[in-house]
Amino acid sequence: MGRGRAPRSVVVTAVVAAVVALSALVTVRLLREDGASAQAPVGGAGSTAVTAGADCGEGPCQVVARATVDGKPVELLADSQGGNGRFQAGANAIEVTVTALGGRLDANSLSCVSGAVSACLVHARQEGASIAQLLVDRAGTWRSVDKPYYSSGGVVRLDDVTGDTAPEVVVVQTSPVLARVFALDGSALGCTRRYTSVSQLRGWPEVQLNPGDLRACG
């Protein structure tokens, strides 16, 4: 006897699963690489507060990474698999959006810079690229920028490019090869010239730029 066809419910379930998976990939590709959708930090949907000490998903939170900002400790929390992340700074607890996009956190996922305005990046690797969430401390209150940064070159970092004592966000892309620079409010400040390889960027992979490197993004 030949095999019967799969029940209609099984076929429909498979199609729905495929559509969901494709939607997730499209979402990641639409993350800010060119700054077109950059917006200022917000305290609403972009930074969902959670109760300090709460579980991360279905299990207890674990400290993945720690840093000190302006003399005060901040922590990156996650479940045992590096998912369901939380950024903890004193009484501020902010949901980590990059784990909701499928990224996983580890000991290298947190980087912070103290300055006139201090900031932290929460990094996660995804298919050879990097996604990073920006969190900014203004007047002692941390807020999350609403949309993560996406780097096809695998590098998103904080650096004082303009010399104004507050860090900027440097995002490396590979098509074309260049670095884009954003202010902490999400506005685009400029791009480097195009290169043939990411290794030509000064300081690669700890890319270090100065104002003279920036020009209008084509």
Distance (Å) of CA 8 to CA 11, 16, 40: 5, 12, 47
> Does the pLDDT of residue 211 top 50, yes or no?
yes
Residue type for position 182: F
Question: What predicted TM-score, i.e. pTM, was given to this entire model?
Answer: 0.76
pLDDT tens digits along 99-113: 999 899 999 999 999
Output b/e per residue, 90-102; b: 16+ Cβ within 10 A.
Answer: eebbbbbbbbebe
pLDDT tens digits along 47-84: 433 444 568 988 899 999 999 999 999 999 999 999 99
Query: How many whole angstroms separate alpha carbon 72 and alpha carbon 51?
Result: 19
Which alpha helices (H) appear in 30-176, and where do they start and end? Answer: 97-100
pLDDT tens digits along 124-176: 988 889 999 999 999 889 999 878 999 999 999 999 999 988 999 999 999 99
Banded pLDDT at 33 (limits 50, 70, 90): low
Distance (Å) of CA 9 to CA 2, 5, 13, 15: 20, 11, 6, 10
Query: How many whole angstroms separate alpha carbon 151 and alpha carbon 174?
Result: 8
The answer for residues whose C-beta is within 8 angstroms of residue 65's C-beta and 6 or more apart is 75, 76, 105, 106, 107, 108, 109, 110
> Does the pLDDT of residue 95 top 50, yes or no?
yes
Looking at per-residue pLDDT, the higher value among 47 and 186 belongs to 186
Residue 180 has which token pair?
């884009």
> Does the pLDDT of residue 196 top 70, yes or no?
yes
